[in-house]
Amino acid sequence: MEFIIFGSGPGLPELDKGLSSIYVHHQGKRLLFDCGEGSSYHLLRHGLCQDEIDAIIISHYHPDHVSGLLMLIQMFYLKKRSKKLQLFLPERVADFEAILQFHYTFSQRWPFELHLHPMEELGAIYPEVQAFPTDHLEGYKELVEELRLPNEMKSWAFRIDNWAYSSDIVTTDCLAPILQGLDTLVVDALHPELEQILKLKGYGIRRVILNHGLSPELEEWLKHNDNGNFIVAEENVPYRI
Ligand SMILES: [Zn+2]
């Protein structure tokens, strides 16, 4: 397996960081996990043409994870993509289709088929990829109920073989079902408390890649402690397992 972190920055844009997106090449399949602003630029930069990505998998709808998706789809149809595209969405698939139409982006006019799926269908199409719900959006519960919104507050982490990507999380505890036997974990190092990040040391993971920014406490800790198997994410370099 090879993966490239296109964007390791937090939700607040930084000059030298991209927004969330990870490209994974595994057993002949090319997957894009999250699609922050600038993802189409990153595909061009890495010579990945319009037909190479098989599926796009969106962990949750915060803009730093999805803001590049419409442009990427626009690039695919303007470049006359011919291969079917599987798009896995965290929730509210019909509403996403309406957003495409709102943007005058009609799949009926494209040279390729777009298949939209709820995340729950991921395992049926890509059995090698497991999706696990996380606690990232639970803090919106009260507001969503108060406003009577249809938001389902779904956010997902993913595992392929001995590799996993947490996307955004409140605690690393919520990842417990996917942490055993991992070689590499790409983890949100911004939101969880320091103690939660350090808890990962107990799982014997060979390499923990600190992604999506660093909390101030973690940044301080890294200055004064042996990082061991914790490394800060580097963008646009291939990692291999
Ligand atoms: Zn985020």
- Beta bridge partners, 57, equal 33, 88
Quick: pLDDT tens for 99-150.
999 999 999 999 999 999 999 999 999 999 999 999 999 999 999 999 999 9
Predicted TM-score of the model (pTM): 0.97
11 CA from centroid of ligand 1 (Å): 5
- The reported pLDDT for the residue numbered 226 is 85
- The reported pLDDT for the residue numbered 238 is 98
φ, ψ (nearest 5 deg) of residue 133 = -70, 145
Nearest by Cα to 194 from 153, 233, 159, 224: 224
Domain ranges of the chain: 2-7+19-240
User: Does the structure show a pLDDT above 90 at 178?
Assistant: yes
User: Which residues have C-beta under 5 Å from ligand 1, the single-atom ion?
Assistant: 11, 64, 168
200 CA from centroid of ligand 1 (Å): 20
User: Does the structure show a pLDDT above 90 at 228?
Assistant: no
Average pLDDT taken over every residue of the chain: 97
Name the CATH superfamily housing domain 2-7+19-240: Ribonuclease Z/Hydroxyacylglutathione hydrolase-like (3.60.15.10)
89 CA from centroid of ligand 1 (Å): 15
Percent of the chain with pLDDT over 70: 100
Quick: pLDDT tens for 179-202.
999 999 999 999 999 999 999 999
Q: CA-to-CA distance for 33 and 21, rounded, in angstroms?
A: 6
10 CA from centroid of ligand 1 (Å): 6
User: Does the structure show a pLDDT above 90 at 45?
Assistant: yes
